[in-house]
Structure 1
Amino acid sequence: MVCSELRTDVLSGRQSIIAVQRSGRQGALRPDVPMAAVGDPFAEGCESETPGEVWSIREPGTQPNTPGWRLRVVPNRYPIPGTPAGSADLLPAADAASEFFPWVSFSGSHEVVIECADLRTRLVELTAAELADVFGAWRDRVRFLSDSGHYRSVAVFRNEGFSAGASLAHCHSQILATDHVPALLQERHIRSRRHFELTGGCLVRDLLSAEQRDGRRIIRLDDEIAIWCPFAARTAWHIRFLPLCGGSFSLASDELLRVLSGAVRRLAGVLESLIGAGYPFNLTVVQPRLDEQCAFPWFVDLMPRLTRQAGWELLSDIDVIPFSPEQSALQLRALLSDAG
């Protein structure tokens, strides 16, 4: 029997079990649930079905919240965070948190980026220029939210497919800013700070150097972006994209975002030949909290969602991955080489 490996992500402390012997079991990979595309509130001409736009790319002479746009950013109609006043009725009866019932209000901004005016459902259906515009919208909104001074962290994420958390089929992504720092993000800060104090180096950069020396998980490396499958992957075929120029995401150049979005689009397409068209995935921008932007370099994670969490994962908070990152990277390198 092949030995399973319990691996730890040095950036976050999260653990994964690489159990390749489970790749052959029935139901190891599950198809996504088809999503209905009728009654699309994100389509051009349905602007009244969303909250008013806060940012857009439009044809000259067209007015906000009317047809003529290519990309819109609107407040989420069903936001995760509330406002302190609006959430009061839903809070516990006690006026203050206690030792056994701790809570704080969770307020913030939650926006939806509608990535195209017509009904397309997959990232790979967007053109290279359209996806570059999406990355640019993320950057500009993160900069705006950061400059407002109201928030401590901003999350940028894209859920494609029902199994990845999407509730609508139309291509879209989300931006959530809050005065809260998620525990996983805080742990990344703690580990990055500890590594710097011990070595004087950057944890993310030193990890990349170690990946280069090992070589097995590297997919592609050039002067602008490093692409690899993380050692302690969160999902099968987990791919990480690290820009090498440094700086914060909110100040990323148009050229960098063009190159980065092109790499994401290409790898997302290559994955289709491995796991089938229409696979569900999450795309996330991992960046430091807003008051410590130099804590670690930002990067992008693409995580296909082909396995389900079961009792073990919920009990232990340890992911089980039926395909090794080493094998995933080997397959992706070969397919990229064949594609030229």
Structure 2
Amino acid sequence: MTLGDLGVSARDEAVYRLVLELGGCAVIDVAPALRMDETEAGRAVERLIELGLLEAAGAGRITAGNPHTALDRLAERRIAESLTHIHRMAALRSAWPQLLDGLAGPAPMVERIVTADDVTERMVAEANARPPAEIRSVKSGKTVRRIGDAGYTATVDLIARGVRYRTLVGRSQLDSPVMAAYYRNLHQLGDRVRISDEPFQVMTLFDNDRAFVPMEPGAPHLGALFIRNPGIVTTLGDLFDLAWDTATDIDLVTGEPVSATELRVLRALATAAKDEVAAKQLNISVRTFRRHVSELMDRVRADNRFRLAIIAKERGWI
């Protein structure tokens, strides 16, 4: 997860990271440091102050705000923005049967594939014949998947060939150790896997021009419709992206729990202005405190402390 996931633009994030790394700076130093237009830099600073990521320190200087407070504010704003998308997603899902009923168009646009095995074979054939740039899929919990099966092999091969993957999985599927290991393994190999708490229609999309959807909603074992209508596939892609935005990275769901000491370190990191203050609160040396922070960053693959705070917030640690 990045600040972009919380609605912060890449330009604004660059400004924030600069101030964070410098420990504060003059507003007039932002534009030349990032080779930005002065007006754009000024507006970015204003937006970041409004979000609580930056604070005005007087005399034309700015500092990074408290990460814990900023995360809460960003998360609340993001949740509010997502409510509209969630309602739209629910409405589209309720209309799914009507959408499928209307797909009896010309053979070149919609094709019925009768069995689940035939569907898998056709997906592999389509991907090999005309590799897409990206494959987006929502997986069914009714199909048991194992490392080394046909679907796994095809996915790994396509990832090696440069095809991007995004996969949505229901949280209940992680209750099976076999399925959890399957998706964690694919995620490590390059398939970006996210976990959703919301029920969602199974689908597989090849870019915005080809899609496989169950013949009957909720029954992927009965075969699928192969759709080549770009308008319909684009609509399905929008539906997928709405669900993707509200889902959680699998690493944030399946990670190991933190110890009591690590929890105290995270809380001190979120509330203390300096490492020296945090270390004193915990009655440990600054060196030990920084070692704990570094180990936590390595563990969750965070490239900076703010990213660590975001992940800790997502996992409910702070």
Decide: shared fold, TM above 0.5.
Answer: no
Structure label with greater radius of gyration = 2
TM-score by length of 1: 0.25
TM-score by length of 2: 0.26
Which structure shows the higher strand fraction? 1
